[in-house]
Chain A
Amino acid sequence: MHDDDGMDRLLRDAMAAGAPRLSPAFDARVMRRVRPRRLTPAGRATIAVYAVAAAAAAVWLMRGLPLESIVAAAAIGGLAAAGASAYVRRLAVGR
């Protein structure tokens, strides 16, 4: 018991430094990180223009190909685009 009391005093003494505190901006920082990021109207317009241009270019480039090749290219391209989009989204939320 005496030993336990001595250890108790020693621990109080050794850990007498002030406890660290959370910064006042903590809540704001967390809420900013969890808030969904939305594209600006200009960003949405840019993506729409790019999508239309890409689709038009693809149709023009594949105009002489057989239907099976067009379907295969569309499937591969669609999957790649979905994967890239998911990856960029994860990067955007920091996970």
Chain B
Amino acid sequence: MIAEPSLYTDRADEWLVERCRESADEAAFAELVRRYRGPVFRLAVSVLGQEFAPEAEDVAQDVMLRVHHALRSFRGEARFASWIYRIAFNQALNVKARARYRAPHVSDQALAATPSQDRGPHDRLQDEQRKQAVLACVGELPEVYQSALRLHYWLGAGVSEIAVLLDAPENTVKSYLHRARRLLSAQLAERGFDAR
């Protein structure tokens, strides 16, 4: 018998996982999908970046299918959340590596466009060039820094949410963000931009 997913909203992840494993309860899996689709998608988007954001939904779907397939072998040594986020991070990295061989769907310019209306065309052009340089430099940082920056600045995630998604202590996330900004500042300076 299949129960409505709403019946399981107050159940713990471990209970839902056990139901999936022992009785292949479709509603229990549906509840896990409902809980984790958003965070998994955000994590995938943060790894893939703006250029390959359209692939993030495919990554999220693939992660759910992989998790469903692997639930039988999940022994509960790690928390379910950590497990699924690790799968999502690795899957997104794989997709990103493949996607790099293709042209981006939408240019960074279109995605980052937020024109300043009260400034002259020269200033606007300079701003635009600086934004492009920032986005290009972000793409050259270590993957975990890129992900932390995009989660924070693009997707509006707080340090605690990033810590959960990247499975790292909050202080480590703060350190990632700080070091990423320092590296970016240096990279921008090399390209002739100042971080003002």
Contacts and interface: CB of A to CB of B under 8 A. Distances in A.
Q: How large is the interface on B (under 10, 10 to 19, 20 to 34, 35 or more residues)?
A: 35 or more
A31 B30 contact: yes
Nearest to A26: B37
A4 B180 CA distance: 10
Interface stretch (A6-14, A48-56, A58-66, A77-85): A6-14
Interface string B170-196: 000000001001101100100000111
A22 B65 contact: no
A17 B112 contact: yes
Given A19-B155, A34-B29, A11 B61 contact: no
A47 B195 CA distance: 69
Interface in B25-41: 26, 29-30, 33-34, 37-38, 41
Interface residues of A, number: 28
Contact of A10 (B38, B42, B61, B195): B195
- If over half of A's interface residues share one DSSP class (helix, strand or loop), that class is named, otherwise mixed; here it is helix
A19 B64 contact: no
B114 A17 contact: yes
Given A14-B112, A15-B153, A17-B112, A3 B53 contact: no
Given A6-B195, A33-B65, A22 B112 contact: no
B153 A30 contact: no
Interface of A: 3-4, 6-8, 10-17, 19-20, 22-23, 26-27, 29-31, 33-35, 93-95
